[in-house]
Amino acid sequence: MNTLILRTASRFLLPLLLLFSVFLLLRGHYLPGGGFVGGLVASIAFVLHGFAFDLKSSKSLLRVHPGYLIPVGLALALLAAVFPILWEAKPFMTGIWYPESVPVLGSLGTALIFDIGVYLVVVGAVLTIIMTLSESA
């Protein structure tokens, strides 16, 4: 699409949607939301930018191919799941929390690392699929 309104709105909505996706990611290790929903919102932000401008400019904003985010996210999620076994001899995917509270983030733990991994996998998978489909069209 080549409309001035969509391009102008996209310039403002991209950072807002990315900020909202990070909010959902950080909220999710306490309440519903988290990595999956935050990853979908971040993907929607880049898809909207791709509609407003073109696929090449959206790819340049990412700086890495979205397919590279998938193994990084899987590695983070696996690390968060296996960490309790290796560190404290607890069962698989047991939450381990840092004893001190961080001012903006709250309590840090393996649940947040797992959510970040899910976030990266979702962003990588959705953008890889959508960009591949739009390149072939």
Separation between Cα atoms, residue 51 and residue 128, nearest integer Å: 15
Residue 1 has a pLDDT of 65
pLDDT tens, position by position, 19-35: 999 999 988 767 767 89
Domain count, the chain: 1
pLDDT tens, position by position, 50-86: 999 988 888 889 889 999 999 999 999 999 999 998 8
Rg from Cα positions in the chain: 17
Angle between helix 110-136 and helix 4-27 axes, rounded to 10 deg:
150
Cβ neighbours for 17, distance < 8 A, ≥ 6 positions apart: 41, 42, 44, 45, 48
Residue 14 has a pLDDT of 95
Check whether 137 has a pLDDT greater than 70: no
**Beta-sheet strands, E only, within the chain:** 97-102, 106-109
For residue 30, the enclosing domain spans: 4-136
Residue 97 has a pLDDT of 83
